[in-house]
Structure 1
Amino acid sequence: ANDAVKKLEKDKAISEDEAKKAYDEVQKLTDTYTTKIDESVKSKESELLKV
């Protein structure tokens, strides 16, 4: 996703401000899903350790 934004910015298809917003949105999504994955891993570890 960041590569796509970078290409659009390079090709002047979007402004620097739009690119910054896009990068921020990608980072928010990344953080959200990283947190969800971490929670799933902890849950699974806990589940496996109970046995």
Structure 2
Amino acid sequence: MAERWSITLGTPMTPSQVALCMIDLKLARLAYCDPTGGRSLGEGHEGAGREGVHP
């Protein structure tokens, strides 16, 4: 995903940055959408950047 977004945005993106953006999108949806009509917070992109994060 980071490679695709890097091409689309014309700037390098890391997997961690993609994960942060996807989480931010989820939070925006929760803030502005009907909470009963969507998926739960646990379903989605929270783990999207795990492969790029090394403790």
Query: What is the TM-score when the length of structure 1 is the normalising length?
Result: 0.46
Choose between structure 1 and 2: higher helix proportion: 1
User: Structure with the greater relative contact order (CA < 8 A, sep ≥ 6): 1 or 2?
Assistant: 2
Query: What is the TM-score when the length of structure 2 is the normalising length?
Result: 0.43
